[in-house]
Amino acid sequence: MNTITRKVGKRYRKFFGKVPENSDLYEDLVKIQKDSFDDFLNRKLLESIKSYMPIQVSVKSTGKKSKDILVDFFDCRHEKPTVSEDECRDKGLTYAAKVYLSVRITDTSTGEIIEKDDVFLCNVPYMTDRGIFIVNGAERVIVNQLVRSPGIYFIKEEETDTTKEMFIAHFLPVKGAWLEILYNPSKEILQVRIDRKRKFNLFLFLRALGYESDLDILKLFPEKINLEDDIEVSSYMAIAPFYQTWDLKNLKIEPARKSTLGMRLSEVLDILKENDVKMVTVCNRVAQITLDRMKKRYEKDGIVTPLDAYKEIYSKLKPTEIPRPQKAKEEMKTCILILQNLIFLT
């Protein structure tokens, strides 16, 4: 068999194939990692710092007067590591390089440059020629990771303690926290999980989004039933119908009211049949159970407001911190609590 011997990098390799191959592909297999690290040191690091520049600071001068100065980091440089790779491995050190920033301090009132100097920023772990880092004497490498594409995924999973299946809707944004809506077959309720953390009631999440009325939440889950089907009606007796009764006759409800909205089907079934209503829209049975569970748990001392919902969710996500309502609201907004802030790749 004819073989071809070529020098690839520092070694000689034998190629047994008959089809000519481009040996440049094998020249440096970690070239991508090294180029990326060089780009980080020479360009990306300075770009990240410049996104927060310039900084305007007010300082006191003579007497009660004060003047504004402008602090700006306009350049970045790094030095080569002073300790060799072998010494770092032997002594348990980190193979790192010092990074300096060029700072310029300007008086905004006169435009005069007060000071211009280099300041030490930090020690950055330095990549070796083999594409590795040495941290505390141990060699570390960067492994590329595959990430799921942004979008919405519907899956079903089996629960560990039962044979029932759990249905999950994954909302994966381009940036920000993951959001999952789950149907729990054991409790027959809808739940939410943010950033793969603890689960909580879906309607508590919707209350935080601004749905203050229970009826507004239930209307998100409509379902039509036939009142002539006794078997179907029997399973919805504890559900609230959405039928408007402005035109119904013989409306006898105690206490007197003009609408059946908010009442259970068992309370208004006779009235609907007397007025020859055959089809009626009700909320989904699972949605009603989810609402009842939320009210039973969170509305012991009164109606849950959106601010209270922010506080409850914040305590679930960060149990070690004190859930102050205003702080919880601000934190939840940064954690993509509002659905319109979810940015999907379309």
pLDDT along the chain (346 residues), means of 10: 71 76 70 89 89 83 76 88 92 92 86 85 91 92 76 80 80 78 87 85 85 83 83 79 58 58 74 76 86 85 80 81 72 55 45
Quick one: 166 and 237 in the same domain?
Answer: no
- 1 in a structural domain: no
pLDDT for 345 equals 41
- Supply the range of the domain harboring residue 302: 151-213+289-341
Q: Are residues 321 and 172 in the same domain?
A: yes
Q: Please, which residues have CB within 8 angstroms of residue 143's CB and are 6 or more apart in sequence?
A: none
Residue 302: count of CB within 10 angstroms of its CB: 8
One-letter amino acid at 60 equals: K
The reply to whether 41 and 132 lie within a common domain is: yes
End residue of a domain, out of 78, 111, 140: 140
Residue at a domain's end among 268, 283, 298: 283
- Verify that 309 and 334 share a domain, yes or no: yes
Phi, then psi, of 155 in degrees rounded to 5: -135, 165
53-78 CB burial, b ≥16 within 10 A, e <16 = ebeeeeeeeeeeeeeebbeebeebeb
Assess contact for 157 and 168: CB atoms under 8 A: yes
